[in-house]
A = this chain, B = another copy of it.
């Protein structure tokens, strides 16, 4: 399916010109004035194309292009338009614009689909303004309580619901996306794999589950000069050894397992005092529930054993748990088939990041399309994707929507 490249480029440039940082990053925080301006433009383009627009109670915007069969379930495509502070031009935003352009191109091609095609712009995917991420899609999937989301505050103490009202995007609960034949989310990879392999497209089969652990090791703070090595209970050397060992274990466990220790600090944090306490975080990801549980247990056991060896004690607490997502095989198959038909260099890939699609997959058959991120950079002004890959991803989105309309799911 050919798309209107020039329209896609002009519309992306138009919204990406709304709120630009000094480093040429995007600053379209959820429910900000910039977000409102982007929404207003999106709504105007939907209406101009003859789509009917509805807003749900979380502020998610849906544009509906009518199909020919009243009884057919709708097919939804979308992503989010909010950004990180000083974020990139494509994270989320590409999915919304690719979805819009795909729907318009299908209509303009003269093809008539049975299903309604719905374009969705989910509110607050980033979690940059209101924590945690994916608030609107989480409510839509029944994961979050809507009142709890309304009461989320940004760092200034401003409530989600109050901002939703202020920018004029508080709609009705009845408008949520509760039933659909399929949900498809085009997105940038935000990782280095496709770019490093020189591929144009990722056929996303699911998303890694996440286990977050807080590790606190307690030894004995002591004088750096007067305490012989043999008399020490150094919390940091135990932590360092544990970090080395759990990393090796994770690599041996095999891809796509990843482990990250993003935060570490030692107390009392004096150059001439042996650390008595060390805290570090663990972010552990895997693509199956059983594997995740096994990897988590191995990781905990290694830490416990290491601390025993060093004569220090350890507390391990789980601060986060997100189940792996497994996408619908029929939808994944449609993406793969469409990529093959276009001769797009592609591979099956598992998403390491969270996406609205992860929550939506709990209630609606879901799939995703990845386009490459140059050097894997994201959440920064350097985030980039070749224009031809964005065009190919948009065309692929249109092709997949047409296939999904014909497919039984």
Please list the residues of chain A having a beta carbon within 8 angstroms of any beta carbon in chain B.
189-193, 196, 208, 210, 212, 222-231, 234, 236-237, 239-241, 243-244, 247, 250-251, 255-266, 269-275, 278, 281, 283, 285, 351-354, 376, 378-379
Main SS class of interface, A: mixed
- Cβ-defined contact, B240 with A244, below 8 A: yes
Could you say which of B193, B223, B260, B272 contacts A224, with CB atoms under 8 Å apart? B260
Quickly give the copy total for this chain: 2
A231 touches B263 (CB 8 A): no
Residue of B with least CB distance to A373: B226
Given contacts A189-B226, A226-B351, A226-B353, contact A269 B273 (CB under 8 A): no
Known: A240-B243, A260-B274, A271-B281. A227 touches B266 (CB 8 A): no
Do A262 and B237 touch across chains, with their CB atoms under 8 A apart? Answer: no
Q: Provide the residues of chain B in CB contact with A272, threshold 8 Å.
A: 260, 262, 283
Q: Which of B226, B274, B352 is within 8 Å of A190, CB to CB?
A: B226
A225 in contact with B354 (CB, 8 Å): yes
Task: Give, as a whole number of angstroms, the nearest-CB distance from A66 to chain B.
Answer: 37
A235 to chain B, nearest CB (A): 10
A121 to B: closest C-beta gap in Å: 22
Min Cβ gap A220→B in Å is 9
* Closest residue of B by beta carbon distance from A320: B271
B239 and A283: CB pair below 8 A? no
Q: Contact between B265 and A227 (Cβ–Cβ < 8 Å)?
A: no
**Does B222 lie within 8 Å of A376, measured CB to CB?**
yes
> Bound state CA distance, A278 and B272, in angstroms?
19
